[in-house]
């Protein structure tokens, strides 16, 4: 029997369960066609877990994740839980907590625009039709998100709040290594983003990234200030390859890159620790406005599955098949609401079914290729 491959599936809130449903259909096809011993177990996380278990990240969920090889997450949060104090909200109490718990410091977010799909992008044709392929490497378990103290203070006649940005040199080093290693597999270009004209943590960031770069002479490194970077990315996304960012900057830059592909509904991500244990999730959020309407774009979730096959299971051919199937479906002209440009669109489950059709075509092509070449 093949090695058992265990995935903990955490659909979460908002559109999470809908897009996960489509991803599950894809998993079943892959399991059968590639003859894999895949085991999927579902657990609650986020608002739904607060409702059912009184906690955004129940023990049972954590234990289930620990027993698995990878976590496939939907999204967490929503208006229903916004009244809660921030540390109890699903985003903080489950998402940030699970990232920290498994030490998932390396967040890889891919934004890819095929030149033929330039119309999807909000950018002008002459910029978008060159296409782009950007990997944003975001530090995910430190910086201002986790620095202490983080407080709101009310005194007699004073009312203020504090957040703290801390970066230890070793935290910068390890994420920089990831960026350079990924760049070696791509166009060998790293752009590191900081605000080192003002911030101390950014000065240390820049210095450390320069030091780490000495180990990668083949990789071309440049630095941009954050404010300039957001402009340059809009002006010429094609010129970027790997973008390396501290936590908060990466949060913003990755959304920017995502929307340039047409929709953050297509932005997938992998969050990895030193052992390459990973959590895979779309980066677009719960989209409560379209929740339950069968309108969400399942592509980011399905692409996150492709990343899982690549990074955790090291099954790159399967990962590529999924990516090709998505690209092919888009090239055939199928669109969900978010990328429809006011024109005809299909529903979440129809998009899932179209991607399955394209995926089956990929499997058949492979079979024909093998039989032709024997
Ligand atoms: C993301 C999200 C989260 C973040 C929120 C929900 C805490 O925006 O994954 O990008 O800021 O990291
Ligand atoms: Mn974000």
Ligand 1 center to 65 CA (angstroms): 20
Q: Can you tell me which atom of ligand 1 is nearest the CA of 92?
A: 7
Could you write out the DSSP letters of every residue in 64-92? HHHTSSEEEEEE---GGGTTS-GGGSHII
Give 216-255 pLDDT, tens digit per residue.
Answer: 999 999 999 999 999 999 999 999 999 999 999 999 999 9
Of 231, 260, 289, the residue at which a domain comes to its end is: 260
Structure letter (DSSP) for residue 35: T
Q: Which residue has a Cα nearest atom 5 of ligand 1? A: 91
Q: Which residue has a Cα nearest atom 12 of ligand 1? A: 251
Calculate the CA 338 to chain-centre distance.
18
Q: Are 270 and 311 in contact (CB under 8 A)?
A: yes
Active-site residue flag, 255: yes
Ligand 1 center to 145 CA (angstroms): 10
Ligand 1 center to 251 CA (angstroms): 7
**C-alpha–C-alpha distance, residues 120 and 138, integer Å:** 25
Q: Is 269 inside a domain boundary?
A: no
Q: Is 115 inside a domain boundary?
A: no
Question: What is the total residue count of the chain?
Answer: 374
Query: Of the residues 4, 227, 276, 293, which is catalytic?
Result: 227
Q: Is 272 inside a domain boundary?
A: no
pLDDT band at 344 (very low <50, low <70, confident <90, very high): very high
Over residues 110-133, the mean pLDDT reads 95
Please tell me whether residues 29 and 147 are part of one structural domain: no
Q: What percent of the chain has pLDDT over 70?
A: 98
Could you write out the DSSP letters of every residue in 109-173? EEEEE-GGGGGGSSS-HHHHTT-EEEEEEEE-SSGGGTEEEEEEEE-SS-EEEEEE----HHHHH
Please tell me whether residues 295 and 206 are part of one structural domain: no
Q: Are 279 and 71 in contact (CB under 8 A)?
A: yes
pLDDT at position 283 is 87
The count of domains in the chain is: 2
Measured over the CA atoms of residue 297, residue 287, residue 7 and residue 44, the dihedral's sign is negative
Active-site residue flag, 145: yes
Ligand 1 binding pocket, CB closer than 6 Å? 91, 95-96, 251, 283
Please tell me whether residues 288 and 254 are part of one structural domain: no
Active-site residue flag, 110: no
CATH code at 341? 3.40.718.10
Listed in sequence order, the residues at least 6 apart from 277 whose beta carbon sits closer than 8 Å to its beta carbon are 69, 70, 102, 104, 312
- The residue assigned the tokens 């990328």 is 339
302 membership: H or E segment, kind and range:
helix 299-311
Query: What is the C-alpha radius of gyration for the chain, rounded to an integer number of angstroms?
Result: 21
- The residue assigned the tokens 């390459």 is 276
Query: Of the residues 145, 167, 280, 334, which is catalytic?
Result: 145
pLDDT at position 370 is 61
pLDDT at position 250 is 98
Please tell me whether residues 330 and 204 are part of one structural domain: no
Q: Which residue has a Cα nearest atom 7 of ligand 1? A: 91
**C-alpha–C-alpha distance, residues 166 and 12, integer Å:** 30
Q: Is 114 inside a domain boundary?
A: no
pTM equals 0.94
Q: Is 336 inside a domain boundary?
A: yes
**Buried b / exposed e across 254-267, counting CB within 10 Å, b at 16+?**
bbbbbbbbbbbbbb
Q: Is 88 inside a domain boundary?
A: yes
Q: Is 86 inside a domain boundary?
A: yes
pLDDT band at 142 (very low <50, low <70, confident <90, very high): very high
How would you class 372 by CB atoms within 10 Å of its CB: exposed for 0-12, middle for 13-18, buried for 19 or more? exposed
In this model, does residue 1 exceed pLDDT 80? no
Please tell me whether residues 138 and 236 are part of one structural domain: yes
Please tell me whether residues 137 and 85 are part of one structural domain: no
pLDDT at position 89 is 95
Ligand nearest to the CA of 145: 1
Mean pLDDT rounded to a whole number for the chain: 96
pLDDT band at 365 (very low <50, low <70, confident <90, very high): confident
Structure letter (DSSP) for residue 237: G
In this model, does residue 104 exceed pLDDT 70? yes
Which residues span the domain enclosing 220?
122-260
Name the residue of 81, 92, 253, 285 whose CB sits within 8 Å of the most ligand 1 atoms, as the mutation to test its pocket: 285
Q: What are phi and psi of 15, to 5 degrees?
A: -80, -5
Active-site residue flag, 251: yes
42 membership: H or E segment, kind and range:
strand 37-42
Please tell me whether residues 98 and 163 are part of one structural domain: no
Ligand 2 center to 373 CA (angstroms): 46
Q: Which residue has a Cα nearest atom 6 of ligand 1? A: 91
Structure letter (DSSP) for residue 334: -
Ligand 2 center to 232 CA (angstroms): 20
């Amino acid at each position: 029997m093949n090695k058992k491959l265990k995935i903990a599936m955490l659909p979460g809130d908002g559109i999470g369960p809908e897009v996960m449903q489509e991803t599950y259909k894809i998993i079943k096809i892959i399991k059968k066609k590639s003859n894999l011993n895949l085991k999927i177990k579902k657990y609650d996380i986020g608002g739904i877990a607060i409702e059912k278990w009184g906690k955004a990240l129940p023990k049972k969920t954590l234990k289930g994740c620990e027993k698995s090889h990878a976590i496939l997450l939907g999204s967490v949060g929503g208006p229903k839980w916004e009244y809660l104090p921030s540390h109890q909200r699903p985003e903080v109490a489950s998402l940030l907590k699970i990232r920290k718990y498994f030490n998932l410091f390396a967040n890889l977010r891919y934004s890819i625009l095929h030149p033929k799909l330039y119309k999807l992008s909000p950018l002008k044709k002459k910029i978008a039709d060159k296409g782009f392929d950007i990997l944003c490497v975001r530090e995910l378990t430190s910086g201002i998100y986790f620095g202490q103290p983080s407080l709101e203070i009310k005194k007699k006649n004073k009312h203020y709040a504090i957040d703290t940005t801390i970066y230890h040199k070793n935290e910068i080093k390890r994420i920089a290594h990831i960026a350079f290693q990924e760049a070696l597999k791509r166009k060998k270009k790293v752009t590191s983003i900081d605000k080192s004209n003002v911030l101390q943590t950014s000065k240390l960031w820049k210095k450390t990234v320069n030091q780490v770069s000495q180990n990668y002479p083949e990789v071309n490194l440049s630095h941009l200030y954050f404010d300039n970077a957001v402009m340059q990315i809009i002006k010429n996304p094609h010129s970027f390859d790997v973008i390396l960012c501290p936590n908060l900057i990466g949060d913003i830059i990755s959304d920017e890159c995502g929307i340039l592909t047409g929709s953050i509904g297509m932005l997938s991500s992998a969050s990895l620790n030193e052992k390459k244990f990973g959590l895979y999730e779309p980066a677009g959020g719960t989209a409560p406005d379209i929740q339950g309407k069968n309108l969400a774009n399942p592509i980011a979730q399905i692409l996150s599955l492709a990343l899982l096959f690549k990074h955790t299971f090291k099954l790159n051919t399967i990962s590529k098949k999924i990516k090709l199937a998505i690209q092919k479906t888009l090239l055939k002209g199928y669109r969900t609401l978010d990328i429809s440009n006011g024109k005809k669109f299909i529903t979440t489950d129809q998009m899932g079914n179209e991607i399955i059709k394209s995926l089956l075509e990929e499997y058949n092509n492979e079979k024909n290729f093998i039989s032709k070449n024997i």
